[in-house]
Structure 1
Amino acid sequence: MRNHLRTFMLLAAMTALFVGAGYLIGGPGGMAIALLLAVAMNAVSYWNADKIVLRMYGAHEVDETHPDRLIANFAADVHALADGADMPRPKVYLIDSDQPNAFATGRDPEHAAVAANLGLLRMLDRREIRGVMAHELAHVRNRDTLTMTVTATIAGAISALANFAFFFQGNDRDRPGGILGVIAIAILAPIAAALVQMAISRHREYGADAGGAEISGDPEALASALQKIDAYARGGMVNHQAERNPATSHMFIINPLSGEGADNLFSTHPATQNRVAELMKLAGRSPTVTGAPRRSGTAVPVSPAQRGPWSS
């Protein structure tokens, strides 16, 4: 009950931000339009949560019959993990991107989808990939996916509305805040939306890490995967789809943004080393760095040993 109340309050805050931006830009009329748009976006996000984000990333569905053994094994493992956790089997999607990463979406466990970048399958070993997908299944089981997707939709709309403020062709006297109000909303609204995303995402990532460790029975595998994914993301391997849709960054297991722009000013994820430390506590061992080394400004090379049996 407490989790549902927190979710309601956070989504209400996002909606209020959007409506407030509409008021400062267009007065009472702008507020009414923004309110209607917010209600419509929430409704559309609820019924089409999975389709919205998956379409953004050009994801395509895969299953155990895929001719590529790497991909077929990936889909089979996701379904086996779901079966072992006594969960409905989610749809499994693949994104054609080199940066290793993954996310889950959908309005409830019965209508869920999990997606992974092709780079995840190529750069992690099978045990680590199972750990990552168990984390995503934990998001599904915890019903985080609807909140994360609706938040991404509204946060993106707030940023678009803030950009639109500079080109609004109306009389400044009709705007409650005047030109200063427009400038304020253009600067502060995206920051406020990012802060709400942080509040939603950071708490949920720790919960999904613990849940994923339970589902896979292997917290060390998830810890190793997190270190490798973080190293590649920070090593210059850019996720171009995520850079075009920064409002969705909180949905991924590791922040996919390169950090080259202001969109990455606030992190939506806990520090990887803190997550690893918590997972190693669950494993009963001291934290150790087992992932690929970080290299500033360049992509981290992938050795055959790092690729594991799926890439052979």
Structure 2
Amino acid sequence: MGLAMWLRTGLLMAILTGLLMGIGYIFGGPNLALIMFVFSMFFNFITYWYSDRIVLGWYRARVVDEYEAPELYSIVRGLAERAGLPTPRVAIIPTETPNAFATGRDPEHAVVAVTQGLLKILDRDELEGVLGHELTHVKNRDMLIGTLAAAMAGAIIQLAYWARWIAIFGGFGGDRDDGENVLAAILVAVLAPIAAMLIQAAISRSREFLADEGGARISGKPQALASALMKIDTAVRYRPLKNGNPATAHMFIINPFRGLGLATLFSTHPPTEARIERLRKIAEEMGIYF
């Protein structure tokens, strides 16, 4: 892992740790803040080591073998060889909303996940472009930072949910009076989801542009990737993902929660039109016109 990746990962861990300790201090003083610090260290380790299982579990994604999905495995294996990567595991997400993401702590433990809907609307060339995009994330080790950000943002949203109930029932009590506890709980309930979305937005949009370029070059089919992005974007507009965790939006090739509440306030992806325009320029460099 490069220095920049370590710095970004460390920054996200520090954000989560600081948030948990701050909430602990607000509601329980120094003792609870210390407990939150210990919990955050444990949480960060678990998130790092089991990042693939965590995200796959959120979406009920099932890892499939070569006999269950021979064409999908064939594409992934061929692209991984071209990219100089070990062949990752492949998972299928049981939803009709077309999309894809990569997860795992490193290339040796990577998983590429696609939805059932994606397999239905893309042809083989378009699927190669999308999978090339995801394998570029694997090669650039973007998926670890994405999974950590998703887990951390999810934890923040959960804290907001707890704070809402704390406010309803009058706080924790203790040294603070009830009014102060309730006010603190309300502030956490309101501000924590915004903080979660800011963590998502902190994941650089440039990583998507780089993954698009990598996907175009690995597959050799920039026009097919552009076509796939257009199809996915259109489908998501009409059928956004409703049962997932918005904290994971930045992990997908296209934001699957478009149009749902706070997901519209913080953009996790560059505009699809801008991505397609860049792919046109990459295609011209490769001597391909579309």
Conserved? CA contact 2:129–2:215, under 8 Å? yes
Cα RMSD over matched residues?
2.1
User: Residue 180 and residue 96 in structure 1: after superposition, are their counterparts in 2 closer, same or farther (change >3 A)?
Assistant: same
Equivalent runs, 1:287-306 vs 2, <5 Å: none
Query: Residues 223, 19 of structure 1: CA spacing in aligned structure 2 closer, same or farther, 3 A cutoff?
Result: farther
- 1:205-262 Cα shifts (integer Å, max 9, x gaps): 1221122222212222211111110100002x132332xx221121111111142323
Q: Which residue does 2:223 correspond to in 1?
A: 220
Q: Equivalent residue for 1:40?
A: 42
The amino acid across from 2:233 in the alignment is D
Inter-CA distance 172–74: structure 2 relative to 1 (3 Å threshold) = same
What's the counterpart of residue 274 of structure 2?
Answer: 274
Compared with structure 1, are the counterparts of its residues 224 and 32 closer, same or farther at alpha carbon in structure 2 (3 Å cutoff)? same
Superposed, 1:121-140 pairs within 5 Å as 121-140=119-138
**Identical counterparts, % of pairs:** 49
1:91 aligned to 2:84? Answer: no
Question: Taking structure 2 as the reference length, what is the TM-score of the superposition?
Answer: 0.89
Higher relative contact order (CA 8 A, sep 6+): 1
Q: CA deviation at 1:263?
A: 4.4
Q: 1:142 aligns with which of 132, 136, 140?
A: 140
Distance 1:53 1:144 in 2: 14
How far 1:180 sits from its partner (Å)? 2.8
Distance 1:193 1:260 in 2: 15
Question: In the alignment, what sits opposite 1:167?
Answer: 165
Correspondence 1:1-312 to 2 at 5 A: 1-66=3-68, 71-168=69-166, 169-171=171-173, 173-174=175-176, 178-235=181-238, 237-242=239-244, 245-284=245-284
Per-residue deviation, 1:181:
2.6
C-alpha deviations, 1:31-75, integer Å up to 9, x for none? 223222221111111111111111111111223322xxxx32112
- 1:98 aligned counterpart, secondary structure: coil
Range 130-139 or range 15-24, more displaced: 15-24
Contact 2:156 2:195 in 1 (8 A): no
Alpha-carbon offset, residue 194 of structure 1: 1.2
Normalised to the residue count of structure 1, the TM-score between the two structures is 0.83
Please, which runs of 5 or more residues in structure 1 have no aligned partner?
291-312
Q: Which moved more, 1:276-285 or 1:125-134?
A: 276-285
Q: CA deviation at 1:104?
A: 0.4
SS at match of 2:270: coil
Residue pair 1:249, 1:256 contacting (<8 A) in 2 also: yes
Q: How many residues align?
A: 279
Identify unmatched segments of 5+ residues in structure 2.
none
Whether the 8 Å contact between 2:16 and 2:40 is mirrored in structure 1 is no
Q: Which amino acid aligns with 1:259?
A: G
Shift of 1:157: 0.9
Q: In the alignment, is the contact (CA less than 8 A) between 1:41 and 1:153 conserved in 2? A: no
Q: Deviations over 1:10-29 (max 9, x none)?
A: 33223323332333333323
Match of 1:166, SS state, is helix
